[in-house]
Amino acid sequence: MRASSPALTHAPATRPLPAWAWVVFGGIALGLADLAFAALFWFLHNGTPPIRIPQSIAGWILGSAHARAGGWATALAGAALYCYVVGAMVAGYLRLSAHRPRLRGADAWWAGGLYGLAMYGLLFRVVLPLFGTASHASTMPVQWTLACLAAYWGIGMGCAWIARASMQRDE
């Protein structure tokens, strides 16, 4: 029997992912998960077609009428925009946790959840209204607000998990 070659017996050295990769993949994974959650909620709530969710996000920039008229192109643009926004949230948590190790330690899940709630408030109560994009918070059902808070708690926990995983890989 032949001895196996050294190349087959040793696992290749793995290099840690750069921070930008964690941000990109985290933004895509968390952003698409949240879009799917929102699409499911609104479909079950009142039959809204799932394409309307990312189109409404494209409407932040294009306006609602143009976003709806754009079909799948604006839906994809809205999904990309939302993944970018969530990626910025991931980048923010990575930055914070690099300077405050407790944010990726034992307190990471609480800190991440609270971070997610803060990002919800910042995005939907400060940034979008400043750009003239009405969040229509007063016309939304209370179940939607509670669902958003839960979803953003989850996004924050995802940010904490990503920060923890990225730091463990670097050590």
Tens of pLDDT, residue by residue over 78-120, are 999 999 999 999 999 999 999 988 888 878 889 999 999 999 9
Q: What is the pLDDT of residue 19?
A: 87
Cα–Cα distance measured from residue 161 to residue 38, given in angstroms and rounded to the nearest whole number: 22
Q: What is the pLDDT of residue 131?
A: 75
**Below-70 pLDDT ranges, the chain:** 1-15, 133-138, 169-171
Q: What is the pLDDT of residue 168?
A: 72
CB 59 within 8 A of CB 115: no
- C-alpha distances (whole Å) from 127 to each of 47, 121, 124, 134 are 28, 9, 6, 10
Tokens of 90: 């991931």
Cα–Cα distance measured from residue 127 to residue 86, given in angstroms and rounded to the nearest whole number: 14
Query: 53, 62, 49, 26: which is closest to 144 by C-alpha?
Result: 53
Q: What is the pLDDT of residue 2?
A: 53
